Amino acid sequence: MYKLKNENGRVNSLLRSGKDFVKNNLAVSAAQHIIDTGEVVESDKEDYPICVDNKWYFEGEKMNTAPTAPATNNISRKGKGKR
């Protein structure tokens, strides 16, 4: 799984235009909107691992998918001890 590679709120992307590609630099929010409204498919471009509708390609960083330990609850005991 990948997340968008964010550099100062921008992400590099490629847009398929016929047989060619156009390089873009989009706001992360615009890229996320394209991802959310399209269908994410497997990318054939190593440097652009996030592919949407076989049309948009975005730079991404691998996400750590290791399981995390559950959060501990710090519950204070009211009325216990001196005040």
The confidence band for 63, taking pLDDT boundaries of 50, 70 and 90, is confident
The reply to whether 46 falls in a domain is yes
With a cut of 90, say whether residue 72 has pLDDT above it.
no
Share of the chain above pLDDT 90, in %: 72
The reply to whether 11 falls in a domain is yes
The reply to whether 68 falls in a domain is no
Domain that holds residue 47: 2-62
With a cut of 90, say whether residue 77 has pLDDT above it.
no
Residue for token pair 């519950």: 75
Residue-wise pLDDT for 35-62, tens only, equals 999 999 999 999 999 999 999 999 999 9
CA distances from 50 to 10, 27, 28, 73 (A): 15, 15, 13, 36
Q: How many domains does the chain have?
A: 1
**CA quadruple 61, 32, 66, 44: dihedral positive or negative?**
negative
The reply to whether 30 falls in a domain is yes
In DSSP notation, 24-36 reads EEEEHHHHHHHHH
Contact 40, 64 (CB under 8 A): no
The reply to whether 40 falls in a domain is yes
Residue type, 77: R
